[in-house]
Amino acid sequence: MPALPVSDPEAIGFDATRLERAFGMLDSWTESGEVPAAGVCVGRRGAAVAPRIFGRMTAEAESPPVRPDTLFLVASITKPVTVTAAMMLVESGAIALDDRVAEFIPEFGQNGKQDVRLRHLMTHTSGLPDMLPNNPALRAAHAPLSRFIDLVTRLPLAFPPGTQVSYQSMGTAVLADVVRRVAGVDFGEFLRANVFDPLGMADTTLGRSGPLRDRVAAVRLDAGQRDTDWNWNSPYWLDFGAPWGGLITSPADLARFCLMTLGRGTFGGVRLLSPATVDAMTRNQLEAMPGVPEVERRCRPWGLGWRLNWPGRSAHFGDLLGPRAYGHWGATGTLCWLDPDRDAFLILLTTEPAGDEGRYLARFSNAVAAAIV
């Protein structure tokens, strides 16, 4: 397995004083309890600064401190990982982006969904919803993933595919089911065999597995969430393995994935993707969709699975990233971005839910971007 290359900040182009100041923000936030726990890894030029972990395993004041091997539920950072799996099938010739979803999931082709293509699932242009209308009831019943997929196949679309952009976790769920059917294996197993194991991501799973159970830091819950047995910290949800939000990983493991992507498909002598695939995933795919409103194509672009930088919006990514930067955020309080022009990446995994503004994420992102010299 390829080891994570670790370097001193100065050797890879970070101002050590500024970077330490950024880490001090995490230390302050976790010490005060504003953020229960945080894990961070930053890198440039093919290497990473040693990952750091801060805070407590739960939001309670009496909680034990984080472990050196603490893991995080990263929520929607899962989406570009799921799309990576699908793109591996594109590379093999098993599928193509303009294939109709109904070719692989025949029952999907009802209620006006016959023309939804795989590319629509990867760019939030399918017309599917973010969550099913009865999402709380399904989770309260501890429904399996197969039940979610079954109900998505019956839905009508909110708009014709390729004509609007609307964030949609259910599109990612359907994409994972396409991979499962085409590859003939469980989707989580496909990720393990084809992504995690080759990259040496030994602490990464889609859904929690036995030896990792006690290492996952608990996300802070509001009062309503604490009263359910299907919240982010529940055995049901941690074990569910949602293809749109169930990835459990560490900053060091996710750094391997980032270095592979910045390496245009290679890490540690392992080629996971071709340069052509990385280029396709990280360029504005909305530019080629004439039905998408111009303001979406220009101001809120998406690649395949990756959100590109939206310079007119501070939320989550902050204000200082380059024009070709891309990444994703997660509702549990997580952020991952990569800037190919600076050959740099940031991974920030916290247990403080991000909300619409991603306040902590954006401020920390700015501090790290300012440390790149």
What pLDDT is attached to residue 133?
97
For residue 187, give both structure tokens: 């989707």
| Percentage of the chain modeled with pLDDT above 90 | 96
pLDDT-derived band at 208 (thresholds 50, 70, 90) equals confident
Average pLDDT score over residue span 292-298: 96
Asked whether the predicted pLDDT for residue 326 surpasses 90, the reply is yes
What pLDDT is attached to residue 1?
72
What pLDDT is attached to residue 9?
98
Distance CA(214)–CA(70), nearest Å, equals 9
What pLDDT is attached to residue 195?
98
Asked whether the predicted pLDDT for residue 293 surpasses 80, the reply is yes
What pLDDT is attached to residue 81?
98
What pLDDT is attached to residue 305?
98
What pLDDT is attached to residue 356?
87
The pTM is what?
0.97
Average pLDDT score over residue span 235-263: 97
Q: Which residue has the higher pLDDT, 212 or 336?
A: 336
Q: What is the pLDDT of residues 96-118, one digit of tens each?
A: 999 999 999 999 999 999 999 99
**For domain 10-75+188-369, is the CATH number 3.90.230.10?**
no
pLDDT-derived band at 213 (thresholds 50, 70, 90) equals confident
Asked whether the predicted pLDDT for residue 210 surpasses 80, the reply is no
For residue 296, give both structure tokens: 């979406």
What pLDDT is attached to residue 361?
97
What pLDDT is attached to residue 212?
79
Q: What is the mean pLDDT of the chain?
A: 97
Q: Secondary structure of 115-128 in the HEC alphabet?
A: CCEHHHHHHCCCCC
pLDDT-derived band at 82 (thresholds 50, 70, 90) equals very high
Q: What is the pLDDT of residues 125-163, one digit of tens each?
A: 999 999 999 999 999 999 999 999 999 999 999 999 999
What pLDDT is attached to residue 55?
98
Domain spans of the chain? Answer: 10-75+188-369, 80-185
Q: What is the pLDDT of residues 24-38, one digit of tens each?
A: 999 999 999 999 999
Average pLDDT score over residue span 248-269: 98
**DSSP helix, strand, coil percent of the chain (3-state; round to 5):** 40, 15, 45
Residue 357, Cα to own-chain centre: how many angstroms? Answer: 17
For residue 228, give both structure tokens: 């359910």
By CB atoms closer than 10 A (0-12, 13-18, 19+), residue 32 is exposed
Angle CA 366–258–176, to nearest 5: 115
Print burial letters for 117-155: b (CB count within 10 Å at least 16), e (below 16): bbbbbbbbbbbbbebbeebeebbeeebebeebbebbbeb
